[in-house]
Amino acid sequence: MNKDEILDIVNRKIKEISEEFDFELNTQENLIYVYSEKGTFDSMMLVALLAEIEEELLVNNDIDISLTSDKAMAKNTPFESNLSILSLILDLS
């Protein structure tokens, strides 16, 4: 699975969760802000998002990672945007 395919999953899940919780996304070109000062996700939305991404990666792509592991949480602002989540997934896989 390549970087673009993973980014597509992350972006799709971000959009699904924002629609489910009826929130508009803060985007700038290819950057989608998630859980940061510019982001619109609250902690409950973030938990749902991370669970959805982990499940998609495991079930459909056989990638077993934990986005809330100690290694993940040691990163600086790992959930700030779609690109920071992508970077985290690439680091953990």
Average pLDDT, the chain: 91
Cα-to-chain-centroid distance, residue 75:
14
Which pair of tokens denotes residue 47? 């938990």
The answer on pLDDT for 50 being more than 90 is yes
CA distance linking residue 42 with residue 87, whole number of Å: 21
Model confidence band, residue 55 (pLDDT cutoffs 50, 70, 90): very high
55, 30 contact by CB (below 8 A): no
pTM, two decimal places: 0.90
Segment among 23-27, 62-66, 82-86, 89-93 with least mean pLDDT: 23-27
The answer on pLDDT for 59 being more than 90 is yes
The predicted pLDDT at position 34 comes to 93
Count of CB atoms situated within 10 Å of the CB of 45: 19
